[in-house]
Structure 1
């Protein structure tokens, strides 16, 4: 699949946020003075809140409204954010670069995350890091994971394996995706399909099937690879769409959805087709950030060419929860990580 296979939606389900140059420069100067946030993450999050509270009030409200109201857009597109003046080579193993000397990008990522909720790390995803380096990894090129590059990453929302059998319970409420370096050809696209647009594109019988518990989600690729020894770990039967018609929630596992019958399989195909028809298409560049509501829609990524030479596409990602209280049973004492 290529970008040409998708129609690009142009409606109120995308919030566009442009920072003036003066705001960008002011944020950048303050963020450049903040050391590696991992050293003292609670202090760093407080400092980021102090810095980002200086945004123009309309911009600040737009970002906060994005996170707190059910009827707001499902994806926000922030442009002209500050960047690190110098970047090391793109990591080739998916781990943080040991050569990164400044942390402006991390500040943008975590500062915006803090306006939406609280960043959270899971031990089965990037070893529980709060900042995920999303880069192509040679061994994962064909996988439906953030390491992939040579295959289309299907429309999905980010889920977390849970022993209860419901993989949406611990899922992040939001993802924040920030671009440090675009792929050299500039062809890697990120897509977002809002559940409201998806439902409008589907017929009533298909929606009834998708709202029935006739699907099983596979656990995330990282969990299957690192914990389950490569064996699929399926959820209990669940619906793919839930909630009221005016505020639906949509679910789909990147690592595979297993329909329980032929009707469900056909409905799943129609869901993916609807996503392609209504998706917003964004080609992220340095200084650009996507705020993604992980419950209001599904996101995807086009295939692109990876060279593993230090110049590949480099995004940073944060998982954000509005409330972590109901995940307290998964906590790791003394750190901001969850099992």
Structure 2
């Protein structure tokens, strides 16, 4: 699978947000003097709010509305954001980099996150970090994880293993993906398929099957690898599409969906095919950010060639929740992460 195999959607389910040069430069100057944000994340988030509140009012409203309303686009494409003046080598082991002298990229990531919700860390994903370095790792090249590169990362949303058996309950509401460095050839594409577009493209029988609890989601690859000793950990039977027709929610585990019967298996195959038909395609470059609604749609990544030479593709990612109240049973006292 590569970029040429996918059609590219052009409709109102993608919001394009271009920052003027003057705004980029003003943000960059202020972010360049903010120290490592994780040292005092609550203070840093307050400072980022002050900085990003200076965006043009219409731009600020567009970003905030993206996080607020059920009927807004499922993906936002922010261009011309500030970047670090000097960037060290791409981390070889999945990060984080210990050599960054400035934290402009982290400020962009967390500042935009704070306009749509609150960044959250899960202990089973990147050791609970709030800023995830998404880079190719040689040992994970063929995996359906953020370490992969040589295989197409199937359409999915980011889910979290939960003892309740429902992996969509604690999952992030949004992902923010910020590009620090593109891949060598510039061919790595990120895709987003909106559940509204998916539902419209499906035939009624397939849609009805996908709305039935005939699927079990595998836990994320990081959980299976680091916690479960490599053994699949499946959810309770759940539907893949749920909610009202005008505002559907879609769920699909990157690490595998197990259909419970032949009709469910056929529907799952059709779902992946439809995602390819309706997907938006974005080739992220430094200074570009994707705001991804993790409930309104599914995202994917094309394969690309990693060289492991310190100049590979480097994204930063944040998980964002509108509220942590309904997952407060997962909180760790005194630590800003969830177990």
TM-score category, normalised to shorter length: over 0.9
Matches within 5 A, 1:1-339: 1-339=1-339
**1:247-295 Cα shifts (integer Å, max 9, x gaps):** 0000000000000000000000000000000000000000000000000
Instruction: Classify the secondary structure of the residue corresponding to 1:122.
Output: coil
Q: How large is the Cα RMSD of the aligned pairs? A: 0.3
User: Paired residues, what number?
Assistant: 339
- List, as ranges, runs of 4+ consecutive aligned residues in structure 1 with deviation greater than 4 Å: none
1:209-250, Cα deviation, whole Å (9 max, x unpaired): 000000000000000000000000000000000000000000
Supply the distance in 2 between the matched residues of 1:53 and 1:183 (Cα, whole angstroms).
32
Q: Secondary structure at the match of 2:179?
A: strand
How far residue 298 of structure 1 moved from its aligned partner, in angstroms, is: 0.1
- Structure 2 distance, partners of 1:88, 1:116, is 29
**SS of the residue aligned with 2:26?**
helix
CA distance in structure 2 between the aligned counterparts of 1:5 and 1:184, rounded to whole angstroms: 21
Q: Deviations over 1:33-64 (max 9, x none)?
A: 10000110000000000000000000000000
Mapped partners of 1:289, 1:122: distance in 2 = 22
Q: Deviations over 1:74-113 (max 9, x none)?
A: 0000000000000000001012111000000000000000
Shift of residue 331 of structure 1? 0.6
Residue aligned with 1:119, SS: strand
User: Structure 2-normalised TM-score?
Assistant: 1.00
Q: TM-score, normalised by structure 1?
A: 1.00
SS in 1 for 2:332: coil
How big is the shift at 1:336? 1.0
Provide the C-alpha distance between the structure 1 equivalents of 2:141 and 2:78, rounded to a whole number of angstroms.
28
- Once residues 251 and 98 of structure 1 are traced to their aligned partners in structure 2, the CA distance between those partners, rounded to angstroms, is 35
1:327 Cα deviation after fit: 1.0
What is the CA deviation profile of residues 152-173 of structure 1, one whole-angstrom value per residue up to 9, with x for unaligned ones?
A: 0000000000000000000000
Cα distance in 2 for partners of 1:326, 1:296 equals 19
Structure 1: runs of 5+ lacking an equivalent = none
